[in-house]
Amino acid sequence: MKHPPEFTDTDPHAQEVWLDLLRRMTPGERIAAAFDLTNFALQMSATGVRSAFPEADDREVLLRVAARHLPRDLMIRAFKWDPDTNGYAR
């Protein structure tokens, strides 16, 4: 298999091992892995917010994380939080 250009920093053998592992997963396992990766990314985002805003309570952290990932109009409709007024997560 040709080495995809977007993975040029990955050893071709390591890439093949990774792709083989993905191919062996059931659809349910792939979905679970996607959810796990999403959860990890959101946890990392929250860690960044807590570092930038150590005084923020849990709700403020949630809102600042959400503001990183959702459009401004949705933040206002869903949470009554205007990132332009209240600030983004940075």
Average pLDDT rounded to a whole number, residues 6-23: 86
Higher pLDDT, 12 or 56: 56
Against a cut of 0.95, is the pTM above it? no
Helix axes 27-52, 58-69, angle to 10 degrees: 120
Q: Is residue 1 scored above 60 in pLDDT? A: no
Instruction: Flag whether pLDDT at 74 surpasses 80.
Output: yes
Instruction: Tell me which residue range forms the domain holding 15.
Output: 10-86
pLDDT at 8 (0 to 100): 73
What's the total number of domains in the chain? 1
Q: Are 64 and 45 in contact (CB under 8 A)?
A: no
Would you say residue 69 lies in a domain?
A: yes
Q: Quick one: pLDDT at residue 25?
A: 97
Mean pLDDT of the region 43-69? 94
Query: Strand, helix or coil at 90?
Result: coil
Residue 2 within any structural domain of the chain:
no
